A and B are shown apart, each in its own frame.
Chain A
Amino acid sequence: MFMRFIYKFSSPPYFYSISGKMLPWLTALFFLLLGYGLYGGLVTAPADYQQGDSFRIIYVHVPAAWMSMFIYVVMAISGGIGLVWRIKLAEIVSISSASIGASFTFLALVTGSLWGKPMWGAWWVWDARLTSELVLLFLYLGVIGLYNGIEDKRTASRAVAILALVGVVNIPIIHYSVEWWNTLHQGATVTKLDKPSIHIDMLIPLLVMAGAFKVYYAIALLLRCRNELLEREPNGKWIDELLEKVK
C-alpha cells in the first residue's frame, strides 16, 4: 500500500499535478505560521533578563540552523533512495534541496554573527557550533559544485547522492570533534530532555517559527522540483498534455 503510494507519487506527471494543488495551501499555512510566530516572537514574548531585546534574533537564527541540518539529512536520504531504486523524483528532491539547505546555512551563519557582535563582542568567534555550521556550508558547496561539474544530470545526481551519504556519516564526527575543540556557545536551550531552559512564552513562538521554516522549505522544494522536472524532460508527453489543457 505504502509502496504503491510512493510509486504513484513519484511519477512525474502525478507529482506535477498534485504539487500544483498543494502549493496554495502550503503558502497559506506558511503565512499563517510566519505571522503568528513573528508576532509572538517580536511582540508578546518577554525580553530576556540578560540579553534584553537582542535575543529576539533567535526566532530566525535557531530555526535556520535546525533547517540547515534537517535539509542535509533529507538530501542524503532521498539521494540514497534515488541511488538504490533509481527513482528520478528522489534524485531531483535530493539536488533541489542542496541550494535551499546552503541558503539556510548561510542565513544561520549571518544571523549568528549578528547576534554574536552584541553578546560576545565580535562578529566572528571560532566557536564550536558556528564553526561546524561553516563546515556544513562547505559540504553543501561541495555538493552543488559536484552537481554542476558533471554534464549528464542522471550521473551527477548519483554522484551527489554518494557524496551526501558520505557527508551524513561524517557530520556527527565533524560536529563532535569541533565541539571538543572549542566551545563558547550557550548550551542547547530547547532540546534538554528534562526541562527546557527557556520560558514557555518564548518557546511557543520559536517552535511556530520552526514550523514556518519547514513549510517554507516544502514550498521552495516543490517549486524547484517542478522546475527541474520540466527542465530535464522538455519533450515529455505529459508536458504536451499539460500545455493542451492550458490552451
Chain B
Amino acid sequence: MKQSSLFQAFGAVIKRDLLLAYRHRAELINPLAFFVMVITLFPLALGAEIALLKRIAPAIIWVAALLASLMSIDNLFRADYDDGSLELMVMTPHSLSILVLAKVTAHWFLSSVPLLFIAPLMGLMLHMDSNVIGILLLTLLLGMPVLSLIGGIAVALTLGLRKGGALLAILVLPLYVPILIFASGAVDAAMSGFPVSGHLSMMCAILFLAITLTPLPTAAALKMSLS
C-alpha cells in the first residue's frame, strides 16, 4: 500500500470535514443564528440609544462571537469520537497534531468565516462607522482561529465526559481573555482615532503562537481520552 504524505493527509482531513459539513448544511446555520440573536438581545436590554450602542458595539460583537465559537466548538471531535473515526486517525502513521490542525482549520472555515460576512451587517445595525467595521473584521479574522485552536484543547480533554458542556465553558473562557482584550482594544482604539497596529501585532503573535503550540496538547489530550 502506498503511503500518503503528511500534506496529503492534511488535505484529506480538511476535505472530509468540509464534505461532511456540506452533507449536513442545515447545521451550519446554528452558530450564525446564535451570533445574531445574542447581539439582538443587547439593544433590547439596554434601550436603543444610538450613542450607547455605538460605544459598546465592538464589545457586544466580540462577546457574541466568543460565545458562538464556544457553542460550535463542541462538535469539533464529537462526531468522530462517536463513530470511531477518531481512533483511526490516531492509528495513522501521521503526526496526530498535524491532523488536529487540519480538523481545527476545517472547523474554523465552517464556523468563523460565515461570521465574517454577518459581522459587518451587525456592525451597521449597531451604528458603527465603516472604517471601524474594517478593523473589527480584521480582529475577527485574526482572533477567531485562536478561539478554535484553544477550544480544541478543552474539547479534547472533555471528550470522554457525558456532561462536558458547562465544564467546557469553564475550561475555555479564562483562556480566551487575552484575545478578547486585544481585539476589543483594537476596535476601541480605532473608534477614538488611535493607531491600532500594536494591538493587531499582538493578535498576530498570539495567532502564530497558538498555531504552533496548541495542536500538541490537543493531540495529547485526544490520545488520553481514547485510551
User: Do A169 and B158 touch across chains, with their CB atoms under 8 A apart?
Assistant: no
> Whole-angstrom distance from the CB of A181 to the nearest CB of chain B?
5
Q: Could you list 28 examples of A-B contacts with CB < 8 Å?
A: A135-B174, A135-B177, A138-B170, A138-B174, A142-B167, A145-B170, A146-B157, A146-B167, A146-B171, A149-B158, A149-B163, A149-B167, A150-B160, A155-B160, A159-B157, A162-B157, A162-B221, A162-B224, A163-B153, A163-B154, A163-B157, A163-B171, A170-B175, A170-B178, A174-B174, A177-B177, A178-B177, A181-B185
Cβ–Cβ < 8 Å partners of A83 in chain B: 220
Complex CA gap A237/B89 in Å reads: 41
> Whole-angstrom distance from the CB of A88 to the nearest CB of chain B?
16
Complex CA gap A146/B174 in Å reads: 14
User: Do B217 and A142 touch across chains, with their CB atoms under 8 A apart?
Assistant: no
User: Do B224 and A159 touch across chains, with their CB atoms under 8 A apart?
Assistant: yes
Cβ–Cβ < 8 Å partners of B220 in chain A: 83, 162
Return the contact of B178 from the options A141, A142, A155, A173 (Cβ within 8 A): A173
Quick check: is B51 within 8 A (CB to CB) of the other chain?
A: no
Cβ–Cβ < 8 Å partners of B163 in chain A: 149
Quick check: is B35 within 8 A (CB to CB) of the other chain?
A: no
- Chain B residue with Cβ nearest A177: B178
Complex CA gap A173/B206 in Å reads: 9
Complex CA gap A162/B220 in Å reads: 8
Cβ–Cβ < 8 Å partners of A174 in chain B: 174-175, 177-178
User: Do A166 and B224 touch across chains, with their CB atoms under 8 A apart?
Assistant: no
- Chain A residue with Cβ nearest B162: A149
Closest 8 CB pairs of A and B: A177-B178, A138-B174, A142-B171, A177-B181, A142-B170, A181-B181, A173-B178, A135-B174
- From 139 to 185 in chain A, residues with beta carbon under 8 angstroms from any chain B beta carbon are 139, 141-142, 145-146, 149-150, 155, 158-159, 162-163, 165-167, 169-170, 173-174, 177-178, 180-181
User: Do A145 and B224 touch across chains, with their CB atoms under 8 A apart?
Assistant: no
Complex CA gap A181/B189 in Å reads: 12
- From 190 to 227 in chain B, residues with beta carbon under 8 angstroms from any chain A beta carbon are 202, 206, 213-214, 217, 220-221, 224-225, 227
Complex CA gap A181/B213 in Å reads: 25
Cβ–Cβ < 8 Å partners of B214 in chain A: 166
- Chain A residue with Cβ nearest B173: A138
**How many A residues, CB 8 Å from partner?**
26
- From 151 to 190 in chain B, residues with beta carbon under 8 angstroms from any chain A beta carbon are 153-154, 157-158, 160-161, 163-164, 167, 170-171, 173-175, 177-178, 181-182, 185
Cβ–Cβ < 8 Å partners of B182 in chain A: 177
Return the contact of B167 from the options A145, A162, A166 (Cβ within 8 A): A145
Complex CA gap A138/B176 in Å reads: 12
Cβ–Cβ < 8 Å partners of A181 in chain B: 181, 185
19 additional A-B residue pairs with CB within 8 Å, beyond A167-B175, A170-B175, A180-B181:
A135-B177, A138-B170, A139-B174, A146-B158, A149-B161, A150-B161, A162-B153, A162-B157, A162-B217, A162-B224, A165-B217, A166-B175, A169-B213, A173-B178, A173-B206, A174-B175, A174-B178, A177-B181, A177-B182
> Whole-angstrom distance from the CB of B198 to the nearest CB of chain A?
9
Cβ–Cβ < 8 Å partners of A165 in chain B: 217
Cβ–Cβ < 8 Å partners of A142 in chain B: 167, 170-171, 174
User: Given A166-B217, A178-B181: A141 and B157 within 8 A (CB)?
Assistant: no
> Whole-angstrom distance from the CB of B9 to the nearest CB of chain A?
24
Cβ–Cβ < 8 Å partners of B213 in chain A: 169
Cβ–Cβ < 8 Å partners of B158 in chain A: 146, 149
- Chain B residue with Cβ nearest A155: B224
> Whole-angstrom distance from the CB of A44 to the nearest CB of chain B?
40
Cβ–Cβ < 8 Å partners of B221 in chain A: 159, 162
- Chain A residue with Cβ nearest B182: A177
Cβ–Cβ < 8 Å partners of A155 in chain B: 160, 224, 227
Complex CA gap A139/B172 in Å reads: 9
Complex CA gap A108/B221 in Å reads: 32
